[in-house]
Structure 1
Amino acid sequence: MLEIVADKIPALDSINDVAQTVIRPAAGGIAFGAGASAQTVAVDDPSVFFADHTWIPIIVGVVIALVVHFTKAAARVAANTVSGGIAAPVLSTAEDGAPFALAAAAIVIPVVALLLLGLIVTAVAMIRRYARRRARRAVQTGET
């Protein structure tokens, strides 16, 4: 909740980005590492953790999250500088709405794809039926 409010205030969003520089990449590494393996990583023995290369997806996730975080922070500073701080609430609202839109699209697009597949199958069936009728008529009337 604090981050949602802090991102809307021009100077506070930059301070929040500095504070989140450690948290966001760590969270990204944990999420990517958890999603990349079929089982939960439990570090009982650090030597096994490094020997089994279980750490690689975590580091990849940290790097990806760090790049995204630095890009967002730099873009936010540039936008606030150019717009005099007016861009902060607009960008923050767009950042809040984009994940919702992507999640909705992930749900809706498969349904739309299924409907389109049904339409294609129906169209192919209708075309084949029309072609058969036309061929029968041609045989009955002696056309070639």
Structure 2
Amino acid sequence: MGLLPLIFTSGWASGINAYAVVLVMGLFGRYDHMTVVPPGLERTDVLVIAGVLFVIEAVADKIPYVDSAWDLVHTVIRPIAGGVVAALIAGHAHDSLTTLGAAAVGGGTALVSHLVKTGVRMGVNTSPEPFSNIVISMVEDLAVAGLVVLALFHPVPAAIIAGVLLAGGVLLVLFTISRIRKFLRRRKERRAARAGLRPQHDLVG
């Protein structure tokens, strides 16, 4: 079970930005010779694909509503990536944590953190200005990169931080849900008000 903190942290990070996880771990494994990193993540083709997709996500993740559409597409991709990375870590290290169990932990954690990210972004998109999306996206990218690097050297502290962020994110989503409901209610009221101001002959004809 010694790899469980690393698997948990990589799962949390995969739910936020799976491409960043593969890219950071692969680069550290290839150039810093981190033995805990599976060789499959160090391959040139894997690093190139992860790098290209990371750049695309870095742009899409900062545009209001585009980020939510991107998150919707990745509802399947991020948990699968979290499970695959976790399985590779466990299989490479021959740890007592079985590959199937590792995949379940990594994929499950990735799914929860992905849902948290998606919920928070939906709430942020109710804001009339676009700058909050950019700031939150940058914070997420830095948090993912920072925690993955920390997990490679100090997995237990990284897992504790990831757990706190995950719990805090769930609470934030619960708060965000009420904000989304208010936003949808206000939009419905504005549409009803505009319809009420239309001339009577337009409503009839």
Query: TM-score with structure 1 length normalisation?
Result: 0.56
Q: Which residue of 1 aligns with 2:66?
A: 12
> Whole-Å Cα distance in 1 between the matches of residues 86 and 129 of structure 2?
36
> Whole-Å Cα distance in 1 between the matches of residues 60 and 145 of structure 2?
19
Q: Which residue of 1 aligns with 2:135?
A: 90
Measure how far apart 1:74 and its partner are.
0.4
> Whole-Å Cα distance in 2 between the matches of residues 35 and 86 of structure 1?
37
Structure 2: any 5+ residue segments left out of the alignment?
1-54, 155-205
Larger Rg over CA atoms: 1
- Cα contact 2:82–2:106 (8 A) shared by 1: yes
Q: Deviations over 1:37-60 (max 9, x none)?
A: 4249xxxxxxxxxxxx64222122
Q: Which residue of 2 aligns with 1:114?
A: none
> Whole-Å Cα distance in 2 between the matches of residues 86 and 100 of structure 1?
22
- Cα contact 1:31–1:61 (8 A) shared by 2: yes
Choose from 59, 75, 90 the match for 2:104: 59
Choose from 72, 76, 82 the match for 2:121: 76
Choose from 24, 31, 41 the match for 2:78: 24
Q: Evaluate the alpha carbon distance shift between residue 103 and residue 17 of structure 1 in structure 2; reply closer, same or farther with a 3 A threshold.
A: closer
> Whole-Å Cα distance in 2 between the matches of residues 108 and 62 of structure 1?
22
Q: Evaluate the alpha carbon distance shift between residue 30 and residue 78 of structure 1 in structure 2; reply closer, same or farther with a 3 A threshold.
A: same
- Cα contact 1:80–1:86 (8 A) shared by 2: no
Q: Which residue of 2 aligns with 1:117?
A: none
**Equivalent residue of 1:10, what SS?**
coil
RMSD in angstroms over aligned alpha carbons?
Answer: 2.8
Q: Evaluate the alpha carbon distance shift between residue 61 and residue 106 of structure 1 in structure 2; reply closer, same or farther with a 3 A threshold.
A: closer
The aligned amino acid for 1:5 is V
Query: How many pairs were matched up?
Result: 97
Q: Deviations over 1:3-53 (max 9, x none)?
A: 01000101100000001111110000011122234249xxxxxxxxxxxx6
The aligned amino acid for 1:56 is G
Measure how far apart 1:78 and its partner are.
0.9
Query: TM-score with structure 2 length normalisation?
Result: 0.41
Measure how far apart 1:80 and its partner are.
1.9
